[in-house]
Amino acid sequence: MASVTYDHVTKKFGDFTALNDLDIQIEDKEFLVLVGPSGCGKTTALRCLAGLEEITMGRILIGNQVVNDVPPKDRDIAMVFQSYALYPHMTVFDNMAFGLKLRKVPKDEIKRRVEEAAQILGIENLLKRKPRELSGGQRQRVAVGRAIVREPKVFLFDEPLSNLDAKLRVQTRAEISKLHQRLQTTFIYVTHDQVEAMTMATRIAVMNKGVLQQLDTPQNLYDRPANLFVAGFIGSPAMNFFPAKLRRGDGALVVEGGAFSVKVPENKTGVYAPYVGRDVIFGIRPEDIHNPVFAPPGIHAAPVEAKVDVTELMGNEIFLYLVNGKDNFVARVDPRTRFQIGEQVQVVFNMDNMHLFDPAADSENPPAIR
């Protein structure tokens, strides 16, 4: 078992900077997820750790050992790719055992490791089959099993669920989480799917354009995003954003969002008071916008008028696509709501969970006001 450290790592491809001063300490036995849009540098970070890419500057440590110049085969890591990369002419057993045979591991030990991994993954009855006889989910289990038998210090997963259908992704996601609990080994997992990140990770590293935006627990990322990018990336549907101005009115702070005005709760005025009279970006998550009839008790509810543009019945909830003046936004409301398309309705914002961002500090990616 081992910790992993990215010590101010930069990776350049010619003039393009894929990783810019990445600095992360991953604890032993942690499940860290690197998440971000395509091209953000998350897979490059994984490949640098695996030794498949040379870093331009900085250091990578596995445990206390600097591995910058250590060949991939000697880093004691195992990697599971998006592509299963199974040998079609070999059985499941031989696919899982292949790496061990190359390392001259004794046959009895190979048999023990493969059978133990197969039992963990529930594929004991598939060991004599060939890949063409397996479903996509079974092939992915074999690929994971091939990594498990190596008993590495660190497991690397590069978007391993992308080729699976939605139902199987959910099932396999849970299996990988249980696998981490059982093996008690360091897992580093790359995905563009923030739902995977939120449900699996001990901590999440959110990346964009090669830069680490925020590193925190899933709940803290959701509750206290560091900037506009993180706030918009974490959560599904994404947080709603409104250009706004903060002013004083009726003895309270008020967010003026164009066609609506909402009062800031008293317990937040101390933090936001210095921004009175300034342009801000107001953020509210869809799940914090309610039908007034079914709004949770005890919240600071601010009413807002809107026109219903589209409704999506999800069974346990309804997504409302609403229009207020020039602004479009999304609400996740109680399934008993009976709003109709084209209807002018009132919804309420839960201002206890509001967010404000400061565009003056960074016009491209405004930081959260704390």
Mean of the per-residue pLDDT values of the chain: 93
pTM: 0.90
**Domain spanning 240-357: CATH 2.60.120.260:** no
- The confidence score (pLDDT) of residue 12 equals 97
Is residue 292 scored above 90 in pLDDT?
yes
- The confidence score (pLDDT) of residue 80 equals 87
- The confidence score (pLDDT) of residue 211 equals 97
The mean-pLDDT minimum among 137-151, 188-202, 240-254 falls in 137-151
More confident residue, 347 or 145: 347
Residue that the structure tokens 């993954």 belong to: 121
- The confidence score (pLDDT) of residue 53 equals 95
- The confidence score (pLDDT) of residue 172 equals 82
Is residue 191 scored above 80 in pLDDT?
yes
- The confidence score (pLDDT) of residue 260 equals 93
The mean-pLDDT minimum among 44-48, 61-65, 149-153, 316-320 falls in 149-153
| Both tokens assigned to 134 | 């397996």
Domain ranges in the chain are 4-233, 240-357
The mean-pLDDT minimum among 34-38, 82-86, 293-297, 324-328 falls in 82-86
How far is residue 130's CA from residue 270's CA, in Å, rounded to a whole number? 65
- The confidence score (pLDDT) of residue 197 equals 93
Smallest Cα–Cα separation from 76: which of 147, 25, 10, 15?
Answer: 147
State which fold the 4-233 domain adopts.
Rossmann fold (3.40.50)
Contact 189, 201 (CB under 8 A): yes
Q: How confident is the model at residue 160 (pLDDT cuts 50, 70, 90)?
A: confident
Is residue 103 scored above 90 in pLDDT?
no
Contact 178, 147 (CB under 8 A): no
**CB neighbour list of residue 316: distance below 8 Å, 6 or more residues apart:** 335
- The confidence score (pLDDT) of residue 1 equals 64
Contact 342, 306 (CB under 8 A): no
Q: pLDDT tens digits, residue range 169-190?
A: 888 888 889 889 988 999 999 9
